[in-house]
């Protein structure tokens, strides 16, 4: 089932998510729904808080479904290592229509559980490392706009406020 994606300004997006205690049929359904929602959007990642569920869980597929082995599910993920920097433009399903250049690690090692509750560690570089950091930010209540400074951030926030007042956000 495709779930509605919360937008910047919706309170649950700006709160820290809690750990998943165990894999239940409800969590399994949530994972399926998140995968369907991510691909329908389309996006390369989706965190549970983006669909209004404050749990430390995200799905990611930088191939956007083109690589059958590209889909990854992370439950209770944590960074093991991060290094280097990359500056690339990125967007977010929760901030539709807006993009900005954001500093992210060039390399990231993430450890967490998959949907079978098996621990896995994945080393990523480039776009996948960027996606990991982006989704981990969502689990901590941070949206990419929060990482911006100065006029770029102000412009995006002002435009969102204007759209909200006009009932278009």
Q: Are the CB atoms for 60 and 100 separated by under 8 Å?
A: no
Provide the token pair at 120: 């896995």
Enumerate residues 6+ apart whose C-beta is below 8 A from 69.
Answer: none
Match 């509605």 to its residue by tokens: 4
59 burial (CB, 10 Å; 0-12 / 13-18 / 19+) is buried
Provide the token pair at 162: 């204007």
Active site residue 123: no
**Count of CB atoms situated within 10 Å of the CB of 154:** 11
Please pick, among 22, 26, 81, 135, the residue that the annotation labels catalytic: 135
Active site residues: 135
């Amino acid at each position: 089932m495709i779930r509605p994606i919360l937008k910047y300004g919706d309170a649950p997006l700006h709160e820290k998510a809690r750990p998943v205690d165990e894999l239940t049929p409800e969590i399994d359904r949530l994972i399926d729904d998140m995968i369907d929602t991510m691909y329908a959007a389309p996006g390369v990642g989706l965190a549970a808080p983006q669909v209004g569920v404050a749990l430390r869980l995200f799905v990611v597929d930088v191939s956007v479904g083109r690589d059958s082995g590209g889909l990854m599910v992370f439950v209770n993920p944590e960074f093991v290592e991060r290094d280097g920097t990359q500056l690339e433009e990125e967007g977010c399903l929760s901030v539709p229509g807006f993009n900005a250049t954001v500093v992210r690690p060039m390399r990231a090692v993430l450890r967490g559980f998959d949907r079978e509750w098996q621990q896995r560690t994945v080393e990523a570089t480039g776009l996948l490392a960027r996606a990991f950091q982006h989704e981990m930010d969502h689990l901590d209540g941070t949206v990419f706009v929060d990482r911006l400074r100065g006029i770029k951030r102000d412009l995006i926030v002002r435009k969102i406020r204007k759209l909200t007042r006009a009932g278009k956000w």
